[in-house]
Amino acid sequence: MISLFDRFEAAFMPNYGVPPVALARGEGSVVRGIDGTEYLDMFGGIAVSSLGHAHPALVEAVSKQVATLAHTSNLLLHEREVELAEKLLSLLGAPGRVFLANSGTEANEAALKLAIKYGKSTGRSYFVAAEMGFHGRTLGALSLTGKPSIRDQFGPFPLDVRFVPYGDADALAAAAVDGGCAAVFLEPTQGEAGVVPPPDGYMARAREITRAAGALLVADEIQSAIGRTGHWFAHQADGYLPDVLTLAKGLGGGLPIGACVGFGPAATVFEKGDHGSTFGGNPVSCAAALAVLGNVDLAHVRAVGAELRDGIEAISHPLLKGVRGRGLWLAAVLTEDRAAQVQAAAQRAGFLVNAVQPDAIRLAPPLVITSAQVRSFLTAFPSILDEAADG
Ligand SMILES: Cc1ncc(COP(=O)(O)O)c(C=O)c1O
């Protein structure tokens, strides 16, 4: 019989390769494959499944909404989108305006168009972003993405983007200081680069540098927000407010939604007709996001995040160099490029982890993961590392 994996391979473009596991269902932080194998989900669909799988509040909100009103387009408004924008602004604690999109890359496209328009009105024409940064796969977001392997073959891009080493505030100041820079795009910690935090104070320095240069600071919090770091938004812990904030991933808890939030003058750069999306702000996705925002427990994220981090730190193993990140957004860093082997060994042991870099394992589990589940991973991790070191 032809397997689901063979059918996938025959039917889909090869851009993803064939994934190693086919999932059938999930509950909480546990997912089950089509063959009945259970796994502890330690990466949450790339930091997306904030409430885990089949959370009753998410199921109820989405089911109720789809049975009531599934779509309006942006020519008509609905209650859920207004509630969601208001809720986001109240969690942000700063006056701003929201644009709703369907994904992370689209949230960044909105931020980019906003920044282009701001640049044109102030005589600024280039952008600064970080080496190894990731902002998405559409052409605008890709042009800001600093990972040569995914960017270079699709260039040249119509935007002038200058890349600086991430975490180097002096390099940022040198690149953004001349008055021609429209915006700086930065992640508060680089997710796809391997959950790489900058030196302390870097983002606050970036805020000062961009303010002094008259450039917008766009904080791409698509991976870092919605409680992932133990704060609603990473910038709140880092003590600065960007001009523009982009969100997606964990916001919908599995339903597709993205957001671009502008503060201060950036809130009203877009005028009527400047931007839009047929599905952006879709009632079902907004209902899901409201359920997420109503059910994330930041104290829990901090407690189990610390337990996971401390537990990894306490493991002494020749393949394990250390751990980085905060909250439930961590990378176990290896001494050798054996992340693929660790991912495979973890899978055999019943844990889904993500080899985000050749030497780094990303852990971004559902924010509802329990302490007992964290401990079960910590207990199994040394033998997973043993197997990966041998294999
Ligand atoms: C920081 C960051 N920005 C943007 C994106 C793109 O989001 P999406 O895949 O929803 O388009 C990602 C996805 O990994 C991300 O981590």
* Residue 250 in contact with ligand 1 by CB distance below 6 A: no
Instruction: From residue 354, give the alpha-carbon distance in Å to each of 7, 127, 237, 358.
Output: 24, 31, 26, 10
Instruction: From residue 316, give the alpha-carbon distance in Å to each of 6, 241, 311, 383, 389.
Output: 40, 39, 10, 12, 14
Mark whether 87 is an active-site residue. no
Which H/E stretch holds residue 362? strand 360-363
SS3 label, residue 191: coil
Residues in CB range of 15: below 8 A, 6 or more apart:
none
Catalytic residue selected from 220, 238, 243, 359: 220
Q: What is the 3-state secondary structure (H, E, C) of 216-238?
A: EEEEECCCCCCCCCCCCCHHHHH
Ligand 1: atom nearest CA of 106 is: 11
155-174 pLDDT, tens digit each? 999 999 999 999 999 999 99
**How many angstroms is it from 222 CA to the middle of ligand 1?**
6
**How many angstroms is it from 263 CA to the middle of ligand 1?**
21
**How many angstroms is it from 215 CA to the middle of ligand 1?**
23
* Residue 295 in contact with ligand 1 by CB distance below 6 A: no
Nearest CA to ligand 1 atom 10: 104
Q: Residue with structure tokens 């407010």?
A: 241
* Residue 223 in contact with ligand 1 by CB distance below 6 A: yes
Stretch 94-121: mean pLDDT, rounded? 98
Ligand 1: atom nearest CA of 220 is: 1
pLDDT score of 80: 98
Statement: residue 145 has pLDDT above 80: yes
DSSP assigned state of 198: P
32-64 pLDDT, tens digit each? 999 999 999 999 999 999 999 999 999 999 999
Q: What is the 3-state secondary structure (H, E, C) of 57-95?
A: HHHHHHHHHHCCCCCCCCCCCCHHHHHHHHHHHHHHCCC
347 touches 33 (CB < 8 A): no
pLDDT score of 234: 98
Q: Residue with structure tokens 């839009």?
A: 276
pLDDT score of 1: 85
Statement: residue 261 has pLDDT above 80: yes
Statement: residue 278 has pLDDT above 90: yes
Mutate to test the pocket of ligand 1, among 138, 145, 196, 223 (most ligand atoms within 8 A of CB): 223
Statement: residue 177 has pLDDT above 80: no
Residue type, 92: L
* Residue 221 in contact with ligand 1 by CB distance below 6 A: no
* Residue 190 in contact with ligand 1 by CB distance below 6 A: no
Statement: residue 249 has pLDDT above 90: yes
* Residue 133 in contact with ligand 1 by CB distance below 6 A: no
Mark whether 249 is an active-site residue. yes
What does DSSP say about strands 329-334 and 360-363: parallel, antiparallel, or unpaired? antiparallel
Ligand 1: atom nearest CA of 258 is: 10
**Average pLDDT score over the chain:** 97
Nearest CA to ligand 1 atom 3: 135
Q: In percent, how much of the chain has pLDDT > 70?
A: 100
Map out the domains of the chain with their CATH numbers.
Answer: 4-54+297-390 (3.90.1150.10), 58-293 (3.40.640.10)
**How many angstroms is it from 371 CA to the middle of ligand 1?**
28
Mark whether 220 is an active-site residue. yes
Measured from the Cβ of residue 47, the count of other Cβ atoms closer than 10 Å reads 27
Q: Residue with structure tokens 């704060």?
A: 231
Stretch 203-211: mean pLDDT, rounded? 97
CA dist 254 and 53 (Å) reads: 9
pLDDT score of 258: 98
**How many angstroms is it from 46 CA to the middle of ligand 1?**
9
Ligand 1: atom nearest CA of 191 is: 16
CA dist 178 and 121 (Å) reads: 17
Please give the structure tokens belonging to residue 99.
Answer: 């644009």
pLDDT score of 147: 92
